[in-house]
A = this chain, B = another copy of it.
């Protein structure tokens, strides 16, 4: 049997009791005959607590030093997990991102994995050990510690699975896989047994928190199946893989973000250029960017998540385009599914539903896999529930049969 890569999120290792439970679960997999590589996140709120300390000593902490600081969270959980596994009589060793050969760009706090050289991981596996790797971090070619940004531990797990040619990559968290909508908003949202990579990427970029979009992109490139499961549960969860059968209605699920901002301005190409460079330097991710240039005039628009980038975005937009270019009282509701825009059916149906709710649609964007509607923040929960019902996502046939 082959290598299994398992990733455990912050809520799964939040206490030493939970770490002991993870140790048991890892050893079950090992006893079933697999070689096991475990990727861990920081314990619970450890990263947020470190971040708060950073802001106590500096208004705008240096990003290299932030990486040095934040990378310790995973090191604590991995060392504790290794101890807990050894306590149960098995061999285990923890390895930092650097020791695991996770080589990244030098873009601190938002680095991308460039290459994985997992020689030491392979050596330790051959010696019969469970290998525990710090998620979310790597080492730059300058030999500095880097972190991968939000959801980075997922990316570590998938990248390692690819480099090790693993049999499977399992992502454990406190939710039972991917749902047709956020169950906290839609009571009858149902588990999705399987979906495609592009669908998962669009769901993740539209607000679904289960898997990080960059990790899915990596998995797609290397054709690695990702199993999203609930820690401690015996349910199958969700598999993200190639050739997942299409959703019958064309709609796989509904994702949403309650707080986004729209940027829209009539300006010059030079100003847009300067703004985009500043955005890149600040590590902000823009979505749904559109630009149309006519001679010396340029119309630029984009959407951005305010939960993640609020204050930075406000400052950058005010500096480059003036404060009026930003509208911050918005939310986004997205319908996601392979081929969702092949016909206009879903789009027209969704607009009907939103009109019926008196939810003003102040913006729209589409891709091959997604329709996104910008509506006032206050209208988001009702819009999600109404669209979920209208697209007949509750009690989906495959979920009922399975």
Give the interface of A toward B (CB within 8 A): 16, 19-20, 23, 50, 53-54, 56-59, 61-62, 64-66, 68-69, 71-72, 75-76, 78-84, 86-87, 93-94, 96, 99, 143-145
Copies per complex of this chain: 2
Known: A53-B80, A93-B64. A87 touches B59 (CB 8 A): yes
User: How distant is A109 from chain B, measured CB to nearest CB, in Å?
Assistant: 12
User: How distant is A46 from chain B, measured CB to nearest CB, in Å?
Assistant: 10
Instruction: Tell me, in angstroms, the Cα distance from A75 to B73 when the chains sit together.
Output: 11
Known: A68-B75, A76-B69. A19 touches B57 (CB 8 A): yes
Instruction: Tell me, in angstroms, the Cα distance from A99 to B69 when the chains sit together.
Output: 15
User: How distant is A75 from chain B, measured CB to nearest CB, in Å?
Assistant: 5
A19 CB contacts on chain B under 8 angstroms: 57
Instruction: Tell me, in angstroms, the Cα distance from A128 to B166 when the chains sit together.
Output: 46
Known: A19-B57, A84-B58, A87-B59. A79 touches B68 (CB 8 A): yes
Instruction: Tell me, in angstroms, the Cα distance from A113 to B169 when the chains sit together.
Output: 40
**Within the complex, which residue of B66, B71, B87, B96 is in contact with A57, where a contact is CB–CB below 8 Å?**
B87
- List 30 A–B pairs whose Cβ atoms lie within 8 Å, in order of A's numbering: A16-B53, A16-B56, A19-B57, A53-B76, A53-B80, A54-B79, A54-B80, A57-B80, A57-B81, A58-B84, A58-B86, A58-B87, A59-B87, A61-B87, A62-B82, A65-B79, A65-B80, A65-B82, A65-B83, A65-B94, A68-B75, A68-B78, A68-B94, A68-B96, A69-B75, A69-B79, A69-B80, A71-B75, A72-B76, A96-B145
Known: A20-B57, A69-B80. A62 touches B86 (CB 8 A): yes
Please state if B68 and A54 are interface contacts (CB–CB under 8 Å). no
Instruction: Identify the interface centre among A19, A59, A65, A83: most chain B CB within 10 Å of its CB.
Output: A83
A64 CB contacts on chain B under 8 angstroms: 93
In the complex, residue of chain B having the shortest beta-carbon distance to the beta carbon of A144:
B99
Nearest 4 pairs of A and B residues by beta carbon: A69-B79, A72-B72, A16-B56, A58-B87
Instruction: Identify the interface centre among A23, A65, A82: most chain B CB within 10 Å of its CB.
Output: A65
Please state if A66 and B50 are interface contacts (CB–CB under 8 Å). no
Instruction: Tell me, in angstroms, the Cα distance from A107 to B343 when the chains sit together.
Output: 67
In the complex, residue of chain B having the shortest beta-carbon distance to the beta carbon of A19:
B57
A61 CB contacts on chain B under 8 angstroms: 83, 86-87
A79 CB contacts on chain B under 8 angstroms: 54, 65-66, 68-69
Please state if B86 and A65 are interface contacts (CB–CB under 8 Å). yes
Known: A53-B16, A57-B87, A58-B87. A82 touches B68 (CB 8 A): yes
A76 CB contacts on chain B under 8 angstroms: 50, 53, 69, 72
A71 CB contacts on chain B under 8 angstroms: 75
A99 CB contacts on chain B under 8 angstroms: 143-144
A53 CB contacts on chain B under 8 angstroms: 16, 76, 80
A84 CB contacts on chain B under 8 angstroms: 57-58
Instruction: Tell me, in angstroms, the Cα distance from A64 to B129 when the chains sit together.
Output: 14
User: How distant is A208 from chain B, measured CB to nearest CB, in Å?
Assistant: 31
A59 CB contacts on chain B under 8 angstroms: 87
User: How distant is A79 from chain B, measured CB to nearest CB, in Å?
Assistant: 4
Instruction: Tell me, in angstroms, the Cα distance from A27 to B82 when the chains sit together.
Output: 40
In the complex, residue of chain B having the shortest beta-carbon distance to the beta carbon of A74:
B72
